[in-house]
Amino acid sequence: MRAFWAALPTEGRWLLSTVAIQTLGRGLTLPFTVIYLHEVRGFDLGLSGTLMSLIAVAGLIVTGPGGSLTDRLGARVILLAGCVTAFAGNALLAFAETPAAAAVGLILIGINFGVSWPAFNALIAAVVEGDIRQQYFGVNFALVNVGIGVGGVVGGLYVDVSDAGTFTTIFLVDALTALIPAALLLGPLRHVHGRAEAPVDADLASEASYRAILRQPAVLWLTGLTFVAVFVGYGQFEAGLPGYGRQVAELSTQIIGISFAVNTVWIVLMQFTVLTRLTGRRRTRAIMVMAGVWVLAWLALGGAGLVPGSAIAAAGMLTFMAVFAFGETLMQPTIPAIANDLASDHIRGRYNALSSAAFQGGAILGPVVAGFLLEHDLGATYVAVMVAGCVAVGLMAVALERRISPAANGVSPEPSPIPGP
């Protein structure tokens, strides 16, 4: 870690220095938004799941324009706009008493996610280069989880479904922490625009369109893999997992909050070790391992549903989060690194927008499927669908490996032998 920090440019250090604080507010609300909508505001579970999907729907709609604008205007401008929408969305959601008001707040939050992801990844890639870029994505992910995990614990101990004011407070805190990146971008990072000029001989009409980028087999497989991985992973974090925990496993909000903390602790403990193991190895192989690990995690959660309300059910939820965390430490350094190593500097925003769109697509489908299956008491089917998705991710990683260059896959090419005299 000391060597990594020393190798970072000043701008990279600034970006990392406040990550945990920025995401603390997100951790306060992440595990409890669907509980807030369902148990505090009184919306039925199916409607709550659909409302949660609006975050990803809005994000998906704006991701394409956000990637193009990132390339044209620079990442800094787009990130500032995202901060404003995140603040407004969380502030509105804090007082939303009707589905319409909640929908507007969630859409604003989704707009922030849709434009900020490609912009933030493009900004990182503009600041950090070479092998350290993969390490940066991994360290950033660990710090994100520190903030989310601490927030999850605090939120689980603080919120009370019988007191709507406790939920109002956590959403307002989330709104305020969304302004921290704006302070950095207007202060010490005001000179970092995150924009690269196109080469003189570049044919933007033929290479910069999303259709042209997706015609590349490696990009197409990576996009599909990301979509399915998010559907069975992060697409379940805000609706499926809390919903399954409450409705099927019959766990308390405190246990659910602690489970998110367990997830964070394991990520922080393992991420740096995993990063050292990943260096110089094929990223696609790490994704295959991730898929297998996630199968085990979902089977553990399925076991929790067989003994609802028991200590075994609580252990199943905690086991799921710990095992799932290991898979996350393999996913987060690899997929963004592959996407950015495939991209040219002047169209990096578009490549990251495609990754973001795949993420949002999986996050759209995740809550909808989870809400439908859980509302119809199909907990076992829910777990089976997730397991099948994990298997599909592993098979797609095999296909991606056949279509990606060794350099983009994290492996330096073998040096050519020096001919003899």
Rounded distance, CA 87 to CA 28, Å? 15
| Confidence label for 258 from pLDDT (cuts 50, 70 and 90) | confident
Provide the pLDDT confidence category of residue 415 given band limits of 50, 70 and 90.
Answer: very low
Specify the higher pLDDT residue, 391 or 353: 391
Given a cut of 70, whether residue 19 has pLDDT beyond it is yes
Instruction: Compute the half-sphere exposure of residue 233: CA atoms within 13 Å on the CB side of its CA.
Output: 30
Per the domain annotation, does 201 fall within a domain? no
The domain total for the chain is 1
pLDDT attached to residue 276: 83
Which structural domain, as residue segments, surrounds residue 58? 17-185+210-401
Q: Is 84 exposed, middle or buried (0-12, 13-18, 19+ CB in 10 A)?
A: middle
Residue 406 included in any domain: no
Mind giving me the DSSP string for 220-231?
HHHHHHHHHHHH
**Per-residue pLDDT tens digits for 264-291:** 788 888 888 888 888 888 999 999 999 9
Residue 322 lies in a domain: yes
Residue 163: strand, helix, or coil: strand
The label of the residue with tokens 């991730």 reads 290
Are the beta carbons of 146 and 264 closer than 8 angstroms?
yes
Q: How confident is the model at residue 32 (pLDDT cuts 50, 70, 90)?
A: confident
- Confidence grade of residue 412 (pLDDT, cut at 50, 70, 90): low
Query: Average pLDDT, stretch 390-404?
Result: 96
Task: Summarize pLDDT for 300-327 with one digit per residue, the tens.
Answer: 999 998 998 899 999 999 999 999 999 9
Of the pLDDT bands very low, low, confident and very high (cuts 50, 70, 90), residue 121 is confident
Dump pLDDT digits (tens) for 200-250. Answer: 555 555 566 888 888 899 999 999 999 999 999 988 987 788 889 888 998
Query: HSE on the CB side for 375, CA within 13 Å?
Result: 16
> Is the pTM value of this prediction over 0.85?
no
408 domain-assigned: no
* Rounded-to-integer distance, Cα 43 and Cα 344, Å: 46
Does residue 396 lie within any of the structural domains?
Answer: yes
Closest CA to 349 of 81, 109, 182, 114: 114
Q: Report how far residue 411's alpha carbon sits from residue 3's, in angstroms, rounded to the nearest whole number.
A: 21
Does some domain include residue 2? no
Write the CB contacts of 226 (distance below 8 Å, at least 6 apart in sequence). 335, 355, 358, 359, 362
Tokens of 188: 């010490």
What was the pLDDT predicted at 421? 44
Q: Of all helices (H) and strands (E), which one includes residue 397?
A: helix 379-401
Complete DSSP assignment for 230-244: HHHTGGGTTTHHHHH
Q: What is the pLDDT of residue 203?
A: 54
- Is 392 among the domain residues? yes
The residue assigned the tokens 């971008």 is 185
53-97 pLDDT, tens digit per residue, is: 888 788 889 998 988 888 888 888 899 999 999 999 999 999 999
> Averaging pLDDT over each range in 139-148, 305-314, 344-353, which range is the top one?
305-314
Find the CATH number of the domain harbouring 241: 1.20.1250.20
Q: Is residue 49 included in any domain, yes or no?
A: yes
Residue 80, burial from CB neighbour count under 10 angstroms (0-12, 13-18, 19+): middle
Do residues 226 and 358 lie in contact, with contact meaning Cβ atoms separated by under 8 Å?
yes
pLDDT of 416 reads 43
Which helix (H) or strand (E) segment is 402 a member of? none
Local confidence band at 195 (pLDDT 50, 70, 90 cut-offs): low
Residue 297: pLDDT band with limits 50, 70, 90: very high
- Predicted local distance difference test score (pLDDT) of residue 418: 43
Please give the single-letter amino acid code of residue 412. S
Burial status of residue 269 (CB atoms within 10 A of its CB: 0-12, 13-18, 19 or more): middle
Q: Report helix, strand or coil for 408.
A: coil
What are the backbone dihedrals phi and psi of residue 44, each rounded to the nearest 5 degrees, phi first?
Answer: -65, 160
**pLDDT-derived band of residue 194, with 50, 70 and 90 as boundaries?**
low
Q: Which of 23, 47, 21 is nearest to 36 (CA)?
A: 47
